[in-house]
Structure 1
Amino acid sequence: MKKFLFIAIITILNINLTQAQDQINWLTFDEAAALTQQKPKMILVDVYTDWCGWCKKMDKETFTDAKVIEYVNSNFYPVKMNAENTKRAFEFKGKEYTEATMAKAMRVNSFPNFVIMDASMENITQMPGYREADPFLKGLNNLVEKFSK
């Protein structure tokens, strides 16, 4: 019985680990802020809207690419932020924001838009517009190499 239980637990753990790498582990902005205080890491903020067709194309094509999933999960705290969401409030650097007011504070005015922040939660740059997997990875890798030194 103990042997069966051990095998069952190992199987469940393997399934969960495999599933975790099948998608990007999206966080809220405040979750990423808390995590980067514990373990510093760059942050990738995907600023989108519900009506944005290119945003949906990024979700369907680029963010399902295995290389993108692995790279983003390994190198960033990835955040999904709806630029029109005014309902959920959070605090950042002593001020209260919604996703909509944070997107405005980040000066995002086109979608999709990817805001890259360093581990101290300072904006490094924006990468606006739809991107296929390989160009997206190349752009992210250039930023990681430049700002991780």
Structure 2
Amino acid sequence: MWVFSAGPSESTSEFKWLTSLEEAVEEASAQGKLVLIDFYAEWCGPCKLMDDEVYTDPDVRTFLSEKFVCVKVNVDENPGLAREYNVAFIPTVVVLTPSGVELGRIVGYLPPDNFISELSGIISQS
């Protein structure tokens, strides 16, 4: 018996990272979504774990694509933005409304299920 898979779901394939916070805010406003900022650095071990284990997880990708417009901010390349959002440790994920109001943040590595749970909690409190 042969089983064929159509590949990733449409919402998973739609997941993308932006590199401009301004663009993310515009898209979030137009789409009625929240903004998720992932503050990271190339040398950061836990940041790499987030990239390798969390952001590649199909459930996480689907959840993010449905609820957020996501932007990655390298703290070494954008120290002013990191200061503006009081990022003291990385990885730090900040959730904003399209108008720029911070709803919550996650500091440090979380496995996929915990990451979705924490983000869901932030959304439900907004």
TM-score interval w.r.t. the shorter chain?
A: 0.7 to 0.9
RMSD of Structure 2 on Structure 1 (CA): 2.1
Aligned pair partner of 1:110 in 83, 86, 89: 89
Aligned ranges 1:132-147 → 2 under 5 Å: 132-147=111-126
Q: Which structure has the larger Rg over C-alpha atoms?
A: 1
Q: 2:16 aligned with 1:37, yes or no?
A: no
Moved runs in structure 1, 4+ residues, more than 4 A? 17-20
The alignment covers a number of residue pairs equal to 120
Partner of 1:89: none
Native 8 Å contact 1:44 1:116 kept in 2: yes
Which structure exhibits the higher relative contact order, with contacts defined as CA atoms closer than 8 Å and separated by 6 or more residues? 2
Native 8 Å contact 2:15 2:64 kept in 1: yes
Q: Taking structure 1 as the reference length, what is the TM-score of the superposition?
A: 0.73
Native 8 Å contact 2:41 2:74 kept in 1: yes
Native 8 Å contact 2:96 2:102 kept in 1: yes
> What 5-or-longer segments of structure 2 have no aligned partner?
1-5
Native 8 Å contact 1:23 1:63 kept in 2: no
Q: Kindly, what percent of the aligned residue pairs are identical?
A: 28
Q: Secondary structure at the match of 1:21?
A: helix
- Greater helix content: 1
